[in-house]
Amino acid sequence: MTTRLSIGDFSRMTYLSVKALFRYHGMGLLEPADVDPATGYRYYDATQVPIGQVIRRFRDLEMPLEHVKDVLHAPDAASRNELIVGHPRSMEAELARTQQAVASLRAILEGPSAPITVEYRMVAATSALAISELVAMADIETWWAEAFDELHQALRSVQGRRRGPDGALYPSEFFEDELGAVVAFVPVAAEPGLAGPEWAGRIQRVEIPGAELAVTVLD
């Protein structure tokens, strides 16, 4: 015989708020064992407590809910482990960017003002692996980290060769309306292994057009 827990008891046992449990039910992340058709009350099984605690730990690590769902629904241990390991990589990349930003701000505030030169450079068209999605400005840092982590993994999987640093394209509406179709890309050499038109998930093989760029140079 299983032990049926009210949503309040389950919330206290897993440290997940009732509001969060409603949301997780709606998205299929953690569904109650039973819902009373007359009252709508949700009840959970005691065996679901470890799953709730796992979700709580992942959320403490700021793993996005969709990623948590992918981990819990992974088809096998290898796939699950790869998804779990991918999140710390994103966190490490985010930490590195934060440290670089702090160092840059400290240098600006503490160092002497250096002259800035603006140069115009012509950049040729290049082949690239890219992810393009509609992104809100408030979400850009998280999206950026996840997109480049996915692109780097794809490039490693085919042993592709880079032709330059990571890059991103932002439309004018991204800055005007705080929402726009952003393109994150990694320039790659045109090799047979990268020639296929289809890629798993949201990655595409694209041609980044050439452009004239204004570049600031610190002397």
Give the residue from 153, 143, 142 showing the smallest Cα distance to 181. 143
71 belongs to a structural domain: no
**Cα 107–109–112 angle (5° rounding)?**
75
- In DSSP terms, 186 is beta-bridged to 129
Q: Average pLDDT, stretch 79-105?
A: 75
Q: Do residue 127 and residue 212 come from a single domain? A: yes
pLDDT of 21 higher than 90: yes
pTM of the model: 0.48
Q: Which domain holds residue 17?
A: 4-66
Q: Tokens 């289809």 label which residue?
A: 198
User: Could you give the CA distance from residue 160 to residue 211 in angstroms, rounded to a whole number?
Assistant: 24
Identify the burial level of 185 via C-beta atoms within 10 angstroms of its C-beta, where 0-12 means exposed, 13-18 middle and 19 or more buried: buried
- Rounded CA gap, 33 and 18, in Å? 15
12 within some domain: yes
14-23, 55-64, 78-87, 141-150: least confident range = 78-87
139 found inside a domain: yes
Place of tokens 């040729």: 124
61 with 96, same domain? no
More confident call, 192 vs 101: 101
- Provide the H-helix boundaries in the chain: 7-14, 18-26, 49-60, 65-72, 77-110, 140-157, 172-176
Quick check: is 147 in a domain? yes
pLDDT of 111-163, one tens digit each? Answer: 655 666 778 888 889 899 999 999 999 889 889 888 998 898 888 877 778 88
β-strand pairing of 42-45 with 116-123: unpaired
Mean pLDDT score, 154-176: 85
Q: Is residue 93, in this structure, part of any structural domain at all?
A: yes
**E strand or H helix at 194, and its extent?**
none
Residue 210 belongs to some domain of the structure: yes
More reliable by pLDDT, 40 or 118: 40
* pLDDT for 63 beyond 70: yes
48 with 27, same domain: the answer is yes
Nearest-angstrom CA–CA distance, 35 and 82: 34
Same domain assignment for residues 129 and 171? yes
User: DSSP string covering 28-89, please?
Assistant: TSS--SEE-TTT--EEEEGGGHHHHHHHHHHHHTT--HHHHHHHHT-SSHHHHHHHHHHHHH
User: What is the structure's pLDDT at 197?
Assistant: 45
212: confidence class by pLDDT, cuts 50, 70, 90: confident
CATH number at residue 153: 3.20.80.10
Verify that 185 and 201 share a domain, yes or no: yes
Is the residue at 180 inside a domain? Answer: yes
* pLDDT value at residue 77: 83
72 lies in a domain? no
- Compute CA distances 81 → 22, 73, 74, 104, 151, whole Å: 27, 12, 9, 35, 19
pLDDT of 118: 72
- Tell whether 140 and 96 lie within a shared domain: no
pLDDT band for position 169 (cuts 50, 70, 90)? very high
Query: Do 206 and 158 share a domain, yes or no?
Result: yes
